[in-house]
Chains A and B, each alone.
Chain A
Amino acid sequence: MSVSSATTEMVDPVPGAAAPHLPQQPDLVQLLSPEGERLEHPEYSIDVSAEELRDLYRDLVLVRRWDVEATALQRQGELGIWASLLGQEAAQIGAGRAMAAEDTAFPTYREHGVAWTRGVDPLHVISLFRGVDNGGWDPVATRFNLYTVVIGAQCLHATGYAMGLQRDGAESATLAFLGDGATSQGEVNEAMIWAASFSAPVVFFCQNNQYAISVPLERQSRVPLYQRAAGFGFPGVRVDGNDVLAVLAVTRAALAAARDGQGPTFIEAFTYRMGAHTTSDDPTRYRLASELEEWKLRDPIARVKAYLSRTGVAGPEFFDAVEAEADELAARIRSGTTEMPDPPGTAMFDRVYAEQTPHLAAQQAQFEAYQASFEGGGH
């Protein structure tokens, strides 16, 4: 038997790897070109005020600075690890700003930009990567769930939560974040089946950053990811993930449709992870520098700045002010991190259950007695 796959047509398998043709892709929703020119799209339009544009630029710059600072802190031994969002700022800010106050986000562990849009204190994210806790923010108050590290597991949570919204008659939706690698997970596929079957108000927001750590998209899928949605029975859209306006427009529309009872949408935000998977990773082992150079030309912030400058919506004074604010944020993150106290040893015994069991209370007492047995009350 022949093992040739010649009869299987590969449809646009990895436009990321060598993709100078990216802007010409017919299915890619783009409203702001890499050069900072406004584009029109027949299905997606957006009307943003000058102030909103400046705010988006500010968001992008601030989360990038946060990210750069966190990477530096990890290199200096202040964080155990950091998962950088570098290059994915527009995807995250666009998606986060598309959410209404009552919508709820279900992030992976890289959604710092979305966290920012939900008002999460960066230090509450940093504390997770420092090893102080599993995320210090309040997922109920912020409507930004805690980071989920097991790949794709949160997509089912977002779908179940959306089913709860349906039962409550709430006019809100959930936004499930996932990456390209996660699309191979059974649970992600189950989430999409559930979402379709129950017409749940959930939007699947996939940041296709081209790599699952080292493995390129072609190992996850033989078709463009957004086309998978058709098989589940709901719309799939591919958007330029480095175009904050397009992401904002597409996600807003998908969330509005979900809230309106039209069921789920799958959004593939086509982007690129400019940094390593995490600070423990070495991307030079699996991708070419030329690829990185290619994507630098599509930087998500530069195009907004170019557009703001060209249209006169913002000038040097504004850009300088944002830089100064970024400096302040970085300084606050730095001092807040280095001054962050370690948790007490007994913290691990807290909240395992709604009420501590007698058995666990006894273990905690044993732990405390052991600690106290050392001179000075600890070691």
Chain B
Amino acid sequence: MTETLTIGKALNLGLRRAMEDDAKVVLMGEDIGRLGGVFRITDGLQKDFGEDRVVDTPLAEAGILGTAVGLAMRGYRPVCEIQFDGFVFPAYNQIVTQVAKIHARSRGRLPMPIVIRIPFGGGIGAVEHHSESPEAYFAHTPGLKVVAVSNPVDAYWGIQQAIAHPDPVVFLEPKRRYWEKAEVDTDATPGPLFASRVVRGGDDVTVLAYGPMVKTALQAAEAAAEEGRSIEVVDLRTLSPLDLDPVFDSVRRTGRCVVVHEAPLTLGLGAEIAARVTETCFHSLEAPVLRVGGYDTPYPPSKLEEEYLPDLDRVLDAVDRAVSF
């Protein structure tokens, strides 16, 4: 069946389907039950699956992740909602020292099939701690997997695949795109979760993006096309592990690569990608790999976020610099 779904609704349906498929799936988080979550991603699920499977937790993020570890040890598949990106840090200890390491610590005897859903990124005019992009902290942590979805189709399938996956997955949801719509075929066979995807073909420059920046990159490619410049856009989709083979193929053709993310520039995903593209495609490169990111400042008050966030023009500026290098 094909339906027109927003990212938010696609996640809701994906969660519902995962809960129907596996009775061990338990949703945990703040306000996710009766309220349906502050973004309504879990709307209606507690009513249909009960309070034991959609748990309104006490207000403590470390508690959510720490008890999820125990539930996972008992054979459950907890799906934890962190209400906003900036609130994941109280749980950071559990995620980094426990969730990420228990499988290795136990030499595989204790799998940690935990999904950590985080609405991430800015652009919604929010106060401090509601607009951050913490992906690099998690991608830097061995034992975790990190994915970022950019569209309703990936949201619908990705959340189900993440829940079925045996490793812990940090699942990043582009909060300002929750209301973006697309056709979702709920009977289709989904592609793999941990794979990047070329979402627009092009010849002159390869632009890499993930999560909310995919739309920005596509808009930039559209604008560039009007000026006769051909941009290939890759949706990275998986941030750990990175799937860069399609990127390498692309860069070997275009010779130019621009990485875009909202997170601060320094030591962001762009730095790692630039290093790997340079190592692998050195002789194909016509220009250094360029990065477009947030500035190395705390996320600014919302009146400044338009200046802070990469937009179409900043992406095109980097494309110009890559072409004219």
| A243, chain B: closest CB distance, angstroms | 30
Task: Return the contact of B105 from the options A134, A186, A359 (Cβ within 8 A).
Answer: A134
Task: Please measure, in the bound complex, the distance between the C-alpha atom of A186 and the C-alpha atom of B94, giving whole angstroms.
Answer: 12
**B167 adjacent to chain A (CB < 8 Å):** yes
Cβ < 8 Å to B, chain A residues 156-189: 156-165, 167-168, 174, 186-187
B142 surroundings in chain A (CB, below 8 A): 352
Cβ < 8 Å to A, chain B residues 87-143: 90, 93-94, 97-98, 102-111, 142-143
The answer to whether A187 and B62 have CB atoms under 8 Å apart is: yes
**B11 adjacent to chain A (CB < 8 Å):** no
A190-B74 contact given A140-B109, A153-B97, A353-B103, CB 8 Å threshold: no
The answer to whether B70 and A163 have CB atoms under 8 Å apart is: yes
Q: Who on chain B is nearest to A156 by CB?
A: B66
**B69 adjacent to chain A (CB < 8 Å):** yes
A354-B103 contact given A150-B93, A164-B70, CB 8 Å threshold: yes
**B84 adjacent to chain A (CB < 8 Å):** no
Task: Return the contact of B71 from the options A163, A197, A353 (Cβ within 8 A).
Answer: A163
| A160, chain B: closest CB distance, angstroms | 2
Interface centre among A150, A174, A355 (most CB of B within 10 A): A150
**A216 adjacent to chain B (CB < 8 Å):** no
**A191 adjacent to chain B (CB < 8 Å):** yes
Task: Please measure, in the bound complex, the distance between the C-alpha atom of A190 and the C-alpha atom of B108, giving whole angstroms.
Answer: 28
Task: Return the contact of B107 from the options A145, A163, A164, A351 (Cβ within 8 A).
Answer: A351
**A275 adjacent to chain B (CB < 8 Å):** no
**A357 adjacent to chain B (CB < 8 Å):** yes
| B26, chain A: closest CB distance, angstroms | 8
Task: Return the contact of A190 from the options B58, B73, B78, B143 (Cβ within 8 A).
Answer: B58
Cβ < 8 Å to B, chain A residues 347-367: 350-355, 357-360
**A133 adjacent to chain B (CB < 8 Å):** yes
| A195, chain B: closest CB distance, angstroms | 9
Cβ < 8 Å to A, chain B residues 49-87: 52, 57-58, 60, 62-63, 65-76, 78
A157 surroundings in chain B (CB, below 8 A): 66-67, 69-70, 73, 98
A155 surroundings in chain B (CB, below 8 A): 66
**A138 adjacent to chain B (CB < 8 Å):** yes
**B241 adjacent to chain A (CB < 8 Å):** yes
| Interface residue total, chain A, C-beta cutoff 8 A | 42
B71 surroundings in chain A (CB, below 8 A): 160-161, 163-164
| A319, chain B: closest CB distance, angstroms | 39
**B242 adjacent to chain A (CB < 8 Å):** yes
Interface centre among B90, B102, B106 (most CB of A within 10 A): B106
The answer to whether A194 and B241 have CB atoms under 8 Å apart is: no
**A146 adjacent to chain B (CB < 8 Å):** yes
Q: Who on chain A is nearest to B26 by CB?
A: A167
**A336 adjacent to chain B (CB < 8 Å):** no
**A72 adjacent to chain B (CB < 8 Å):** no
B68 surroundings in chain A (CB, below 8 A): 160
B256 surroundings in chain A (CB, below 8 A): none
Tally A-B pairs: CB < 8 A. Answer: 129
Task: Please measure, in the bound complex, the distance between the C-alpha atom of A359 and the C-alpha atom of B280, giving whole angstroms.
Answer: 13
Interface centre among B103, B107, B111, B166 (most CB of A within 10 A): B107
The answer to whether A139 and B67 have CB atoms under 8 Å apart is: no
Task: Please measure, in the bound complex, the distance between the C-alpha atom of A163 and the C-alpha atom of B107, giving whole angstroms.
Answer: 25
The answer to whether B74 and A193 have CB atoms under 8 Å apart is: no
**A233 adjacent to chain B (CB < 8 Å):** no
The answer to whether A193 and B58 have CB atoms under 8 Å apart is: yes
Task: Please measure, in the bound complex, the distance between the C-alpha atom of A186 and the C-alpha atom of B105, giving whole angstroms.
Answer: 24
**B145 adjacent to chain A (CB < 8 Å):** yes
The answer to whether B66 and A191 have CB atoms under 8 Å apart is: yes
Q: Who on chain B is nearest to A359 by CB?
A: B241
The answer to whether A187 and B104 have CB atoms under 8 Å apart is: no
The answer to whether A153 and B67 have CB atoms under 8 Å apart is: no
B72 surroundings in chain A (CB, below 8 A): 160
Interface centre among B70, B78, B104, B106 (most CB of A within 10 A): B70
| A134, chain B: closest CB distance, angstroms | 4
Interface centre among A158, A159, A187, A353 (most CB of B within 10 A): A353
The answer to whether A187 and B94 have CB atoms under 8 Å apart is: yes
**A13 adjacent to chain B (CB < 8 Å):** no
Task: Please measure, in the bound complex, the distance between the C-alpha atom of A164 and the C-alpha atom of B73, giving whole angstroms.
Answer: 9
Q: Who on chain B is nearest to A161 by CB?
A: B70
B26 surroundings in chain A (CB, below 8 A): 167
A158-B70 contact given A140-B109, A187-B94, CB 8 Å threshold: yes
| A64, chain B: closest CB distance, angstroms | 28
**A235 adjacent to chain B (CB < 8 Å):** no
Task: Please measure, in the bound complex, the distance between the C-alpha atom of A191 and the C-alpha atom of B69, giving whole angstroms.
Answer: 12
Task: Return the contact of A159 from the options B67, B98, B105 (Cβ within 8 A).
Answer: B67
A174 surroundings in chain B (CB, below 8 A): 70
Q: Who on chain A is nearest to B98 by CB?
A: A153
Mask, A193-207, CB within 8 Å of B = 1, is: 110010000000000
Task: Please measure, in the bound complex, the distance between the C-alpha atom of A300 and the C-alpha atom of B176, giving whole angstroms.
Answer: 62
**A135 adjacent to chain B (CB < 8 Å):** yes
Task: Please measure, in the bound complex, the distance between the C-alpha atom of A2 and the C-alpha atom of B70, giving whole angstroms.
Answer: 46
The answer to whether A156 and B62 have CB atoms under 8 Å apart is: yes
| B166, chain A: closest CB distance, angstroms | 4
Task: Please measure, in the bound complex, the distance between the C-alpha atom of A28 and the C-alpha atom of B108, giving whole angstroms.
Answer: 42
Task: Return the contact of B108 from the options A150, A161, A163, A351 (Cβ within 8 A).
Answer: A351
Task: Please measure, in the bound complex, the distance between the C-alpha atom of A197 and the C-alpha atom of B194, giving whole angstroms.
Answer: 38
Task: Please measure, in the bound complex, the distance between the C-alpha atom of A163 and the C-alpha atom of B64, giving whole angstroms.
Answer: 12
The answer to whether A193 and B93 have CB atoms under 8 Å apart is: no
A354-B108 contact given A161-B71, A163-B67, CB 8 Å threshold: yes
The answer to whether B73 and A150 have CB atoms under 8 Å apart is: no
| A258, chain B: closest CB distance, angstroms | 14
| A265, chain B: closest CB distance, angstroms | 18
Task: Please measure, in the bound complex, the distance between the C-alpha atom of A191 and the C-alpha atom of B68, giving whole angstroms.
Answer: 12
The answer to whether A190 and B66 have CB atoms under 8 Å apart is: yes
The answer to whether A190 and B60 have CB atoms under 8 Å apart is: yes
| A151, chain B: closest CB distance, angstroms | 10
| B287, chain A: closest CB distance, angstroms | 26
The 4 tightest CB contacts between A and B, nearest first, are A160-B70, A156-B66, A164-B74, A160-B67
- Some 20 contacts from A to B, beta carbons below 8 A apart, are A135-B105, A138-B109, A145-B73, A146-B105, A146-B106, A153-B94, A156-B62, A157-B69, A158-B70, A159-B67, A160-B66, A161-B74, A164-B75, A186-B60, A191-B63, A197-B58, A351-B104, A351-B107, A352-B142, A353-B167
